Chain A
């Protein structure tokens, strides 16, 4: 699956979207590691992506809550560091943080910062990002009837490698549905604007939150 030169996406080898839930962090685990399986499968996906794409660097695009007043750093970035450590990645890493309520201008700015870091041999973009958190009565954000259609649209855009469809998502609705991953996904859509090859490796909503693990790589033929 190694990309040939013509498949190179402006020196971005490919992107891996992974669940970003804090339950994956060891400091939040109970005796039973409820987020462990999700974390380990993401590590495995990252190992596979690194082996396939042989990137020279990793760019993490993670959302952060501008209203959260703590110094721990964003959960997404911390999850990404954990996954990279788990995958044994020792190369360079750049973290691009984007507010989860970013407007289009901020998203464009974040995308430019991703592209500034392009290297000749290509980067892997790692995106911890989750969809809505209002799919069921027991979901963190309770049930919202609009959430299923929203998630279906985003999943379809990811599955088909359709960056333009991702960018068309309603940012206000995403906020209302607690889709904290929408901003980083929109940044991804901006740095890989052409139709790309895509694969959804897993998607589920075990706690009323829609998760997805997917990858984008290479231009579509």
Chain B
């Protein structure tokens, strides 16, 4: 199985870093660090240097907060996408949005991938991806509306629910014209899930990989890591990287991350352990 993002084609053993670039003043982790245009551009330059394969540009934080309408969301991301497209012609540009209207605008500006982080909340979004030949990430949210925290959600079997929802969304997207090799699935840790759900989704990630759709995981500094290790935001990197390594080993292909250099190292290490990547330099015992 291969998959395509932008002009690039990837094998099933690819392990790609998707660097988070927030165009928000209030995201949970960076607290507006790249709200300013210049800072956001510096962030893109940095993550490219650090080995990011994809940038994921988002104009609305995932958590509840001040309502951001489509016009404001576009003001935050569209021109920025155009700048990235011009400055980094080969970089894969993803935009984190659930709105078809925003998706259309960013695709016109050069986006390669629409990261539908709220699980098909806007049913028109796949058609936009299809129209522009863009890729699409389908996510599992357990049915909660955008920017809603999980509350007392239970599943008979969380992984069954994730798999059924994601396969259904992926097939629907394909039916609407999105190229089958441009569709990814994301179990969406923390979204519509308590910590036990996210841990089980990680433990049984292989069942999602077995669907044949390439799997994206978004783990970076999330609450399930924090609750598992009893660590606040800012102290979750080790747990994030451990989860990254396990997910990589189980077959995930794309890793959405704040800390790009560290994630890149973990993925390279896993790839070499798996026999998919040669070590950088080998001398020990061979002199």
Q: Are A and B interaction partners?
A: yes
Q: Which chain A residue shows the least CB distance to B286?
A: A23
Q: Which chain B residue shows the least CB distance to A211?
A: B287
The CA of A207 and the CA of B284, in the complex, are separated in Å by: 9
- Would you call A22 and B286 a contact (CB within 8 A)? yes
**Which of B99-107, B146-154, B273-281 lies at the interface?**
B273-281
Give the shortest distance, in Å, between B127 (CB) and chain A (any CB): 42
**Which of A27-35, A55-63, A98-106 lies at the interface?**
A27-35
The total of chain A residues at the interface (CB under 8 A) is 17
Q: Which chain B residue shows the least CB distance to A139?
A: B287
Q: Which chain B residue shows the least CB distance to A130?
A: B287
Q: Mark B218-254, 1 if CB is under 8 A from A, else 0.
A: 0000000000000000000000000000000000000
Give the shortest distance, in Å, between A180 (CB) and chain B (any CB): 11
Confirm or deny: A21 has a beta carbon within 8 angstroms of a beta carbon on chain B: yes
The CA of A208 and the CA of B284, in the complex, are separated in Å by: 12
- Would you call A140 and B282 a contact (CB within 8 A)? no
Give the shortest distance, in Å, between A211 (CB) and chain B (any CB): 9
Chain A residues with CB under 8 A of B280: 30-32
- Would you call B285 and A34 a contact (CB within 8 A)? no
Confirm or deny: B283 has a beta carbon within 8 angstroms of a beta carbon on chain A: yes
Chain B residues with CB under 8 A of A21: 286-287
- Would you call A207 and B283 a contact (CB within 8 A)? yes
Q: Which chain A residue shows the least CB distance to B287?
A: A207
Which of A23, A31, A208, A209 is the one whose CB lies under 8 Å from B278? A31
- Would you call A32 and B286 a contact (CB within 8 A)? no
Give the shortest distance, in Å, between A202 (CB) and chain B (any CB): 16
Q: Mark B88-120, 1 if CB is under 8 A from A, else 0.
A: 000000000000000000000000000000000
Q: Which chain B residue shows the least CB distance to A208?
A: B287
Chain B residues with CB under 8 A of A139: 287
- Would you call B278 and A35 a contact (CB within 8 A)? no
The CA of A208 and the CA of B280, in the complex, are separated in Å by: 21
Give the shortest distance, in Å, between A146 (CB) and chain B (any CB): 19
The CA of A208 and the CA of B286, in the complex, are separated in Å by: 12
Among A30, A140, A206, A209, which residue has the most Cβ atoms of chain B within 10 A? A30
Which of A29, A30, A32, A209 is the one whose CB lies under 8 Å from B287? A209
Chain A residues with CB under 8 A of B281: 30-32, 34
Confirm or deny: A133 has a beta carbon within 8 angstroms of a beta carbon on chain B: yes
Give the shortest distance, in Å, between A31 (CB) and chain B (any CB): 5
Among B278, B283, B285, which residue has the most Cβ atoms of chain A within 10 A? B283
Which of A34, A206, A208, A209 is the one whose CB lies under 8 Å from B282? A34
The CA of A90 and the CA of B38, in the complex, are separated in Å by: 63
Chain B residues with CB under 8 A of A133: 287
Chain A residues with CB under 8 A of B282: 23, 28-30, 34
Give the shortest distance, in Å, between A177 (CB) and chain B (any CB): 14
Q: Mark A26-58, 1 if CB is under 8 A from B, else 0.
A: 001111101100000000000000000000000
Q: Which chain A residue shows the least CB distance to B277?
A: A31
Among B278, B280, B283, B286, which residue has the most Cβ atoms of chain A within 10 A? B286
Chain A residues with CB under 8 A of B287: 21, 23, 133, 139-140, 206-209
- Would you call A30 and B279 a contact (CB within 8 A)? yes
Q: Which of A117-147 contact B (CB under 8 A)?
A: 133, 139-140
Q: Mark A197-211, 1 if CB is under 8 A from B, else 0.
A: 000000000111100
- Would you call A29 and B278 a contact (CB within 8 A)? yes
The CA of A141 and the CA of B147, in the complex, are separated in Å by: 61
Give the shortest distance, in Å, between B77 (CB) and chain A (any CB): 36
Q: Which chain A residue shows the least CB distance to B282?
A: A30
Give the shortest distance, in Å, between A207 (CB) and chain B (any CB): 4
Give the shortest distance, in Å, between B278 (CB) and chain A (any CB): 5
Q: Which chain B residue shows the least CB distance to A22?
A: B286
Q: Which chain B residue shows the least CB distance to A206?
A: B287
- 23 interchain pairs, CB-CB under 8 A: A21-B287, A22-B286, A23-B283, A23-B287, A29-B282, A30-B278, A30-B279, A30-B281, A30-B282, A31-B278, A31-B280, A31-B281, A32-B280, A34-B283, A34-B286, A35-B286, A133-B287, A139-B287, A140-B287, A206-B287, A207-B287, A208-B287, A209-B287
Closest 7 CB pairs of A and B: A23-B286, A207-B287, A30-B282, A32-B281, A30-B279, A30-B281, A209-B287
**A30-B278, A31-B278 given; 11 more Cβ-contact pairs under 8 Å:** A23-B282, A23-B286, A29-B282, A30-B279, A30-B280, A30-B281, A31-B279, A35-B286, A139-B287, A207-B287, A208-B287
Q: Which of B's residues lie within 8 Å of A, judged by CB?
A: 278-283, 285-287
